[in-house]
Structure 1
Amino acid sequence: MSFRLVATDIDGTLINSERLLTRRTLDVLAQVPVPVVLVTGRPMRWLDQLQDQLPHPLPAICANGAVIYDPDTDQILRAESMPAEVLLDVTKRLRDVVPDIVLAVEVEDGRSFLHEQAWPRLWEGDHRIRVISSPEELTSAPAVKLLARSATADPDDFLELVSRTLGDRAVATRSSSSALVEISAAGVTKAAGLAWLCEREGITADQVVAFGDMPNDIPMLTWAGRAVAMGNAHPALKAIADEVCATNDDDGVARYLREAFDL
């Protein structure tokens, strides 16, 4: 197969359930003869958890396509945020239709995270993450991602409700197994971010093989010349994929690449 670039999601895809790169995956990544790009819903501040496991850091498209990062130069090549006025409109729409909604924002290109008091506390002691002091603070600055959580909704139903509520004002998707929806500026998707990077490098969609496992990967897999869903992927992803590989706990990406590149 004449691939010139490998695009892969991280969680549920490249790493296993323990959030680790296996020895097999590391060995294959070291041998792949074309660039490998991480395309993830993760913010920039979460990249170190993966990059520290690699001998050399990989380029990354973060926040579902909103931020494109070059680790070689430690530069953000592109960032697309939602303006404060859009955030204000979007949050008002969501509060009107979801009584138990809890909100948070990724700001400073994903280097910082601000959340409402009711947001689950998962990162105690991280100075980059803090509770907002007032509701107005949530929408006071541009954000690369708005996150909306419901404690009672079905995850797929919640995504559908949020998407319908926002219309073309913003893009809603999800990568979590819970009712957590990730909202980006209109036009921002993993596919859009990857397309921008590929055009910059002179690579066309048909020369890209992409791997993913959740609904936020659907645009990327639809765009790429070869779409590969993980064995553990959401049914919606398997429905649009060209192929289904082994699960992330069975080194699905590494197994596929080993065969594709005859490593």
Structure 2
Amino acid sequence: MSEDVGVNDAPLVRPRIIATDLDGTLLRSDGTVSARTEAALALAEAAGLCIVFVTGRPPRWMEVVSAVTGPHGIAICSNGAAVYDVRRKALVSSTPLRREDALAVVKAVRAELPGVGFAFEFPEGFAYEPHYASAMWDAAAVRGIAPAETILASDVGGQVFKVLARHPEADPDEFMRRARAAAGQYAEITRSSPLLEISALGVSKASTLALWCAERGVAAEEVVAFGDMPNDLPMLAWAGTAYAVANAHPQVLAATEHRAGDHDADGVAEVIEQLVRGLDG
């Protein structure tokens, strides 16, 4: 057992839901699900727990967990903007960002931090500004390359699930702080990487997870959550039992009582194994 995980970390209420972030939390650094993690997820589902993936990833990037999705098959994507059925590859519900609010964010953040570049996540693709570049984009999903104002004034892509912002020089945490000060009245602004991730006002991993659980009669006390970055903080604060992985951002480590091991050491799997043993006991 990892020194980061203790028997006394077990939740006081019998859990029904395990809600876990993906990148930096459940997935290893190479973006894969380890054999131990796959086995732990199957063990939890067999014990009657429901696994819900809660991620900043868009729905189209959920293939990484398609092979390990239990019978429920649910992922909360784009930081809460979309609920996605991984098994059926179908969008269940969404809470998009209004284009007028997205435009207000663009103008306010650009005024505060000149040089920022923007990209926009849609249900089945994305569009981005010419000076916004990322090696992660898949060319087949590109819906447009143009200034942000042009993209938002067009009908490209449909609903805006998430706005991404990149600055070539700003420290990521300072970037987030200044963007929130400049545009926090228009949208939720967070991050899980050097990029800012911007969603509709009031939409977060926590808000969508809470709604999904309430519809099924699940209380916050019955949820065990795992995360590593600032975009996980609302979810970790809402869940009855919250774990930060050992490699988590300092803000996440400071805000959570419980610890899981490093994501490259199957920390989440280790805690899940412990939880299932506790259920058997």
Q: Out of 21-30 and 123-132, give the one that drifted further.
A: 123-132
Aligned-partner Cα distance in 1 for 2:166–2:40: 37
Partner residue of 2:30 out of 18, 21, 38: 18
With over 3 angstroms needed to count, the CA separation of the structure-2 counterparts of 1:125 and 1:245, relative to structure 1, is closer
Aligned-partner Cα distance in 1 for 2:184–2:136: 32
Aligned-partner Cα distance in 2 for 1:28–1:198: 22
Aligned-partner Cα distance in 1 for 2:137–2:54: 27
TM-superposed CA distance for 1:75, in Å, is 3.3
Corresponding residue of 2:151: 138
Partner residue of 1:126 out of 139, 151, 155: 139
TM-superposed CA distance for 1:242, in Å, is 2.3
Corresponding residue of 1:173: 190
Corresponding residue of 2:41: 29
TM-superposed CA distance for 1:54, in Å, is 5.3
Cα contact 1:26–1:54 (8 A) shared by 2: no
TM-superposed CA distance for 1:78, in Å, is 1.8
Superposed, which structure 2 residues align to 1:55-134 within 5 Å? Answer: 58-107=73-122, 109=123, 111-123=124-136, 126-134=139-147
Cα contact 2:119–2:128 (8 A) shared by 1: yes
Aligned-partner Cα distance in 2 for 1:221–1:58: 21
Give the residue type in structure 2 aligned to 1:112.
G
Query: What's the TM-score once normalised by structure 1's chain length?
Result: 0.93
Cα contact 2:106–2:148 (8 A) shared by 1: no
Query: What's the TM-score once normalised by structure 2's chain length?
Result: 0.87
Aligned-partner Cα distance in 1 for 2:225–2:23: 14
How many corresponding residue pairs? Answer: 259
Aligned-partner Cα distance in 2 for 1:125–1:159: 26
With over 3 angstroms needed to count, the CA separation of the structure-2 counterparts of 1:18 and 1:72, relative to structure 1, is closer
Aligned-partner Cα distance in 1 for 2:19–2:36: 18
Task: Show CA shifts across 1:94-115 (max 9, x none).
Answer: 11111110001011x3x21101
Give the residue type in structure 2 aligned to 1:144.
F
Corresponding residue of 2:64: 49
C-alpha RMSD of matched pairs (Å): 1.8
Gaps of 5+ in 1: none
With over 3 angstroms needed to count, the CA separation of the structure-2 counterparts of 1:135 and 1:191, relative to structure 1, is closer
Gaps of 5+ in 2: 1-10
